[in-house]
Structure 1
């Protein structure tokens, strides 16, 4: 239907030329397109007869970063692991003796225990670093 209305406007020769197949030379050589990202002043590889190279240039500061598609975005709750969320939920509202909390009886005892344990671990790390290997 659309073709019949175009015939008087364009003429038969124009339609025949637009519907003609592409030259055999272009159809015979399929070209591969390689897309790469180069950083800073790095050179872009040259294209060959059978391979076209398309380069995207990014600043050198992006060289060792994760690609933008793989970077975590969103709130802390979305990017935090489920294990740490569960660990937090297990200890929320725990009060009492041996719990590091400003609420409840003897909460400071738990804070002192945590401080002592943390310092003992740190001291072990320092001793390990200062030990001369045999």
Structure 2
């Protein structure tokens, strides 16, 4: 009797494994589509294709996608150390001596130099304009 119970148990375990069909092949093509409002999801072109649809509100149709809306951050982790140093130097430039600024202890010392640079630039521009006259 024990032999018949073991034989029946063996058939019960092996039966589903023997009766199964060969595994189906995975689809060869997966197509992603975005539909808006009440639009229908497109139908697959063949039996070997799966169509995955994402449904968005109708007012999102003509908007710039979210991943493109915000400009990249200036403080990103992939910025070079040279760029970070230049940003820090530019932020501190107004408080340095010779900056002609009311901020900082030596800011007023650069006003004369700034006026002279402006005068020489205007002078060079005037001379270039005079040379251009035939």
TM-score of the two chains, using structure 2 as the length reference = 0.46
The structure with the largest alpha-carbon Rg is: 2
